[in-house]
Chain A
Amino acid sequence: MADFSKLTELAVQVRRDILRMVFNAQSGHPGGSLGCVEFFVALYGNVLKHSPKPFKMEGKNQDLFFLSNGHISPVWYSVLARTGYFPMEEMSTFRKINSRLQGHPTTHEGLPGIRISSGSLGQGISVAVGAALGKRLDGDKRWVFCLTGDGELDEGQNWEAIMSAAHHKVDNLIVTVDWNGQQIDGPTDQVMSLNSLPAKWKAFGWDVLILEEGNDLASVIAMLRKAKRRTGKGKPVVILMKTQMGYGIDYMVGTHKWHGKSPNQEQLDLGMAQVVLTKLGDF
């Protein structure tokens, strides 16, 4: 387990990576990526039992993670590279031709750490339920984690998956919802109201945890550990994690406007000044 100050440093560096990747490509999704930095750093740096090398698709006796909202690939790529899955330099190829770092994550180019393609929304929870059922069949006691967006919950397939996980008592599964209240066309309340999200999940038979401080690293780590303790009791577990889209870069915070927009040079410089280079170094 990496110590806490190292994880804090990693979180700063990941934010730099996100901005620089999206700037380099002049394309990508910085807002949701920045909002989920603490989640990814906590998960890969502290919570997951995982093996970057050699990366094995089946991940027997390891924890598995699935990203349903694949458009926040920059944060995932950064954390994967910085936890040893592939060379850091590869981040400079993000969204460019002949790259393994496709706009949305895919197994198709053989990038270590990725187990399914995602990006067309609403499919990740189903996949995670399947992987969790597979572990149960194998008597594998490790966990399956999945991150989904809140806007993504507009997709009906999620609710099929949520219903099925409870029905089949998939209690080795921890889903986290990035509850940032934003989607492309605006705030979720205006685009498609989620109403009472906790009540919805409860009504579907899940053990529901709410994390108010999804951009506080210690809180995220504590919550993920708590969620693990809540598993194995006949119910799947969901963490409704409140985050701020664009967190860490003041002009991007809390708005859907940076959902899928890249900064220009001036905006990049402004951002870089807010997440100062660490000794981990840029890619």
Chain B
Amino acid sequence: MNINDIISTETKATRDGFGQGLLEAGHANPNIVGLTADLIESLQMQHFKAAYPERFFELGIAEANMMGIAAGLSISGKIPFTGTFANFSTGRVYDQIRQSIAYSHKNVKICASHAGLTLGEDGATHQILEDIGMMRMLPGMVVINPCDYNQTKAATLAIAEYYGPVYLRFGRPAWPVFTDPTKKFKIGKALQLSSGKDVSIFATGHLVWTCIEAAKELTAQGISCEVINIHTIKPLDEEAILDSVSKTRAVVVAEEHQRNGGLGDAIANLLVQKMPVPMEYVGVKDSFGESGKPLDLLEKYGLGKKDVLWAVKDVLDRKG
């Protein structure tokens, strides 16, 4: 597994992958229903709506009600996929998710677009950077943050076949596509992208590609990187993480999220108990975002390729 073998020849938004995945899942299973809170096209749900109008519910700008209705539909054996921005899919409706979906263990798929800084120009009101933390704290909640169009589509199909509440997080911008479109998504199974012995780089979502680019540069400098895509933050693939860390003894975790509460903390929690080693975070340092172009924002807030490079050098220094 050589990092230089991973290439991307096109860009597509992860939310487009969700839209196609939902349509295909809808073909396969008549129990799948779609719900939105006035954001059909932002979530790319128009394909599903056109194919199955009777199975699609527009609920207006009322996310709390949407979560409750989704829970109710699931009682009748339906598999509801709710679609709105990540901000309105989590923080705005935390208690509805907590009581009516998570505690009640309902088969609801909370599908959340425009997560993180790469939402861009709308600014911090909409750029949620705490959602992974909130969702992974809920008992029984599966938390998935796929890395590109193909993986988001595959994840959408996979969660349709899983019984239980799921938080599926994806984003707005066109982003490099590099995963195998034929690969089936396995919930909770980390994907190793390269073999290495010096450092383990764990990444989720958009930052997987950023880490691949960084790892190519590091490889050229003679640093052997093991890049692993942690698309499922909960349940965490502890075995894959510990296997890698037992070889490299140095860890960098990258995510488009606060350092507090996200994938980094999930991995730190594991390592501090099972295998304490030097570890560095690439994530937002306890601040809100702002308006701007996605790539500019990632760079300003310490989530760019250079930040991954620095984090790797720092952790290698500490490893000694």
**Contacts from A to B (Cβ < 8 Å):** 57-60, 64, 66, 106-108, 115-120, 122-135, 137-138, 140, 156-157, 160-161, 163-164, 167-168
B70: chain A residues within 8 A (beta carbon): 130
| Shortest distance between the CB of A275 and any CB in chain B (Å) | 32
B77: chain A residues within 8 A (beta carbon): 58, 60, 134, 138
B75 is contacted by which of A119, A125, A127 (Cβ under 8 Å)?
A127
CB–CB B104/A130 < 8 A: no
CB–CB A137/B55 < 8 A: yes
CB–CB A126/B105 < 8 A: no
29 sampled A-B residue pairs with Cβ under 8 A: A64-B75, A66-B72, A108-B104, A108-B105, A116-B71, A116-B100, A116-B106, A117-B100, A118-B100, A120-B99, A123-B68, A125-B68, A126-B66, A126-B67, A126-B68, A126-B69, A126-B72, A127-B69, A129-B65, A130-B69, A130-B71, A133-B76, A134-B75, A135-B76, A137-B55, A156-B64, A157-B62, A161-B65, A167-B60
Query: Given A120-B95, A130-B68, does the pair A164, B100 have CB atoms closer than 8 Å?
Result: no
| Shortest distance between the CB of B217 and any CB in chain A (Å) | 49
CB–CB B75/A160 < 8 A: no
| Shortest distance between the CB of B83 and any CB in chain A (Å) | 15
A64: chain B residues within 8 A (beta carbon): 75
Does any Cβ of A come within 8 Å of B178's Cβ? no
A131 is contacted by which of B54, B65, B72 (Cβ under 8 Å)?
B72
CB–CB A107/B64 < 8 A: no
Q: Give CA–CA (A165, B254) in the complex, Å.
A: 43
B106: chain A residues within 8 A (beta carbon): 116
A115 is contacted by which of B54, B57, B75 (Cβ under 8 Å)?
B75
Does any Cβ of A come within 8 Å of B208's Cβ? no
* Additional pairs, 7, CB under 8 Å, beyond known A60-B77, A130-B71: A108-B103, A120-B99, A123-B99, A127-B71, A135-B76, A163-B60, A168-B57
B66: chain A residues within 8 A (beta carbon): 126
Query: Given A126-B65, A160-B64, does the pair A133, B72 have CB atoms closer than 8 Å?
Result: yes
Q: Give CA–CA (A120, B74) in the complex, Å.
A: 19
B99: chain A residues within 8 A (beta carbon): 117-120, 123
CB–CB B72/A128 < 8 A: yes
Q: Which of B40-86 contact A (CB under 8 A)?
A: 54-55, 57, 59-60, 62, 64-78, 80
CB–CB B104/A107 < 8 A: yes
Does any Cβ of A come within 8 Å of B199's Cβ? no
**Contacts from B to A (Cβ < 8 Å):** 33, 54-55, 57, 59-60, 62, 64-78, 80, 95-96, 98-100, 103-106
* B76 (CB) vs chain A CBs: closest residue: A134
CB–CB A130/B103 < 8 A: no
Q: Give CA–CA (A117, B96) in the complex, Å.
A: 10
CB–CB A131/B103 < 8 A: no
Query: Given A131-B73, A133-B73, A137-B76, does the pair A126, B60 have CB atoms closer than 8 Å?
Result: no
A164 is contacted by which of B59, B76, B95, B96 (Cβ under 8 Å)?
B59
Interface centre among B65, B66, B98 (most CB of A within 10 A): B65
B72: chain A residues within 8 A (beta carbon): 66, 116, 126-134
CB–CB A157/B76 < 8 A: no
A160: chain B residues within 8 A (beta carbon): 59-60, 62, 64-65
B69: chain A residues within 8 A (beta carbon): 126-127, 129-130, 133, 161, 164
| Shortest distance between the CB of B25 and any CB in chain A (Å) | 16
Q: Give CA–CA (A60, B75) in the complex, Å.
A: 10
* A104 (CB) vs chain B CBs: closest residue: B99
Q: Give CA–CA (A134, B57) in the complex, Å.
A: 11
B62: chain A residues within 8 A (beta carbon): 157, 160, 163-164
| Shortest distance between the CB of A73 and any CB in chain B (Å) | 14
Interface centre among B57, B60, B73 (most CB of A within 10 A): B73
Q: Give CA–CA (A118, B71) in the complex, Å.
A: 12
B60: chain A residues within 8 A (beta carbon): 160, 163-164, 167
Q: Give CA–CA (A106, B103) in the complex, Å.
A: 8
| Shortest distance between the CB of A133 and any CB in chain B (Å) | 6
B76: chain A residues within 8 A (beta carbon): 58, 60, 130-131, 133-135, 137-138, 140
CB–CB A107/B73 < 8 A: no
| Shortest distance between the CB of A31 and any CB in chain B (Å) | 23
Q: Give CA–CA (A66, B69) in the complex, Å.
A: 12
A66: chain B residues within 8 A (beta carbon): 72
CB–CB B75/A58 < 8 A: yes
| Shortest distance between the CB of B64 and any CB in chain A (Å) | 4
A138: chain B residues within 8 A (beta carbon): 76-77
* A128 (CB) vs chain B CBs: closest residue: B72
Q: Give CA–CA (A215, B116) in the complex, Å.
A: 53
B104 is contacted by which of A116, A128, A140, A167 (Cβ under 8 Å)?
A116
A130: chain B residues within 8 A (beta carbon): 68-76, 80
Interface centre among B66, B69, B74, B98 (most CB of A within 10 A): B69
B57: chain A residues within 8 A (beta carbon): 133, 168
Q: Give CA–CA (A122, B103) in the complex, Å.
A: 16
* B35 (CB) vs chain A CBs: closest residue: A130
Q: Give CA–CA (A124, B75) in the complex, Å.
A: 13
Query: Given A108-B103, A116-B100, does the pair A57, B75 have CB atoms closer than 8 Å?
Result: yes
Q: Give CA–CA (A116, B73) in the complex, Å.
A: 11
| Shortest distance between the CB of A71 and any CB in chain B (Å) | 13
* B77 (CB) vs chain A CBs: closest residue: A58
* A135 (CB) vs chain B CBs: closest residue: B76
Interface centre among A60, A123, A128 (most CB of B within 10 A): A123
